A and B are shown apart, each in its own frame.
Chain A
Amino acid sequence: MGVYSRYARRYARLVTMPTTAPTAARALADVTASDSTLRRFLHGLPGVDAVGLEARAASLGTRSIKTTAKAYAIDLAISMVDLTTLEGADTPGKVRALGAKAVHPDPTDRSTPATAAVCVYPDMVAVAKEAVAGSDVKVASVATAFPAGRAPIAVKLADVREAVAAGADEIDMVIDRGAFLAGKYLKVYDEITAVKEACGTSARLKVIFETGELSTYDNIRRASWLGMLAGADFIKTSTGKVAVNATPANTLLMLEAVRDFRAQTGVQVGVKPAGGIRTSKDAIKFLVLVNETVGEDWLDNHWFRFGASSLLNDLLMQRQKLATGRYSGPDYVTVD
Chain B
Amino acid sequence: MSDMTRLTVFKTYKLYVGGKFPRSESGRVYEVIDSKGNWLANAPLSSRKDARDAVVAARKAFGGWAGNTAYLRGQILYRVAEMLEGRREQFVREVADAEGLSKSKASAQVDAAIDRWVWYAGWTDKISQVVGGGNPVAGPFFNLSTPEPTGVVAVLAPQESSFLGLVSVIAPVIATGNTAVVIASEKSPLPALSLGEVLATSDLPGGVVNILSGRTAEIATPLAAHQDVNAIDLTGADEVLAKELEIAAADNLKRLLRPQPVDNPVNWAADPGTHRLTAFLETKTVWHPTGSLGASGSSY
Question: Measured between C-beta atoms, what is the minimum distance from A279 to chain B in Å?
Answer: 19
| Docked complex: A181-216 residues within 8 A CB-CB of B | 211-212, 214-216
The answer to whether the Cβ of B67 comes within 8 Å of any Cβ in the partner chain is: no
Q: How far is the CB of B46 from chain A (nearest CB, A)?
A: 53
- Measured between beta carbons, the chain B residues less than 8 angstroms from A214 are 295
Name the B residues within 8 Å of A73 (CB-CB): none
The answer to whether B285 has its CB under 8 Å from any CB of chain A is no
Chain A residues numbered 206-254 whose CB sits less than 8 Å from any CB in chain B: 211-212, 214-217, 219-220, 243-244, 247, 249-250
Known: A51-B140, A51-B141. A249 touches B289 (CB 8 A): no
Cβ of A49 under 8 Å from chain B? yes
Give a binary string over A305-324; 1 marks a CB under 8 Å from any B CB, 0 the rest: 00000000000000000000
Q: From B140, which residue of chain A is reached at the shortest CB distance? A: A51
Query: Are A249 and B140 neighbours in the complex by a CB distance under 8 Å?
Result: no
CA distance A244 to B292 in the complex (A): 14
Chain B nearest CB, measured from A327 CB (Å): 31
Give how many A-B residue pairs fall within 8 Å (CB-CB): 36
Q: What is the minimal beta-carbon distance from A55 to any residue of chain B, in angstroms?
A: 9
CA distance A223 to B264 in the complex (A): 72
Is residue A52 within 8 Å, beta carbon to beta carbon, of the partner chain? Answer: yes
A51 adjacent to B296 (CB under 8 Å): no
* B residues contacting the other copy or chain, number (CB 8 A): 11
CB distance from B129 to the nearest CB of A (A): 27
Contact indicator A220/B295 (Cβ below 8 Å): yes
User: Closest residue to A52 on the B side, CB-wise?
Assistant: B289
Question: In whole Å, how far is B23's beta carbon from the nearest beta carbon of chain A?
Answer: 55
Interface flag for B291 (CB, 8 Å): yes
Which of A54, A214, A220: most chain B Cβ within 10 A?
A54
Q: Nearest CB to that of B294 among chain A residues?
A: A215
A214 to B295 CA separation, bound complex (whole angstroms)? 8
B295-A51 in contact (CB<8A): no
- What is the CA–CA distance of A49 and B141 in the complex, to the nearest angstrom? 12
A153 at the interface (CB under 8 A from B): no
CA–CA, A177 to B66, complex, Å? 50
Interface status of A151 (Cβ within 8 A of chain B): no
Interface residues of B in 273-300 (CB under 8 A from A): 289-297
Q: How far is the CA of A200 from the CA of B293 in the complex (A)?
A: 39
B295 cross-chain contacts in A, Cβ below 8 A: 50, 211-212, 214-217, 219-220, 244, 247, 249-250
In the complex, chain A residues whose CB is within 8 Å of the CB of B297: 244, 247
Complex contacts, A50 vs chain B, CB 8 Å: 289, 291-292, 294-295
A187 to B296, CA, bound (A): 25
A244 engages B296 (CB within 8 Å): yes
Residue interface bits A287-329, CB-to-B below 8 A is 1, else 0 = 0000000000000000000000000000000000000000000
Q: Is the CB of B140 within 8 A of A243?
A: no
State in angstroms the CA–CA spacing of A243 and B294 once bound together. 13
- Which of B141, B289, B292, B296 gathers the greatest number of chain A CB atoms within 10 Å? B296
Residue ID in chain B nearest A237 by CB atoms: B295
Which residues 136-191 of B sit at the A interface, judged by CB distance below 8 A?
140-141
Q: Which residues of A contact B290 (CB under 8 A)?
A: 51
Q: Which residues of B contact A51 (CB under 8 A)?
A: 140-141, 289-291
Please report the C-alpha to C-alpha distance between residue A249 and residue B297 in the assembled complex, in whole angstroms: 10
Complex CA gap A10/B140 in Å reads: 34
Closest to A244 in B: B296
Q: Please, which residues of chain A bring their CB within 8 A of the CB of B289?
A: 49-52
Distance to closest chain B CB from A195 (angstroms):
24
Residue of A nearest to B297 (CB): A244
Task: Kindly identify, within residues 43 to 75 of chain A, every residue whose CB is under 8 Å from any CB belonging to chain B.
Answer: 49-52, 54
Known: A51-B140, A51-B289, A219-B295. 7 other contacts (CB 8 A): A50-B289, A211-B295, A212-B296, A216-B293, A217-B294, A220-B295, A243-B296
Q: Which residues of A contact B (CB under 8 A)?
A: 49-52, 54, 211-212, 214-217, 219-220, 243-244, 247, 249-250
- 9 residue pairs bridging A and B, Cβ less than 8 Å apart: A50-B294, A51-B140, A211-B295, A215-B293, A215-B294, A215-B296, A219-B295, A220-B295, A244-B296
* Nearest 4 A/B pairs, CB to CB: A51-B289, A215-B294, A51-B291, A244-B296
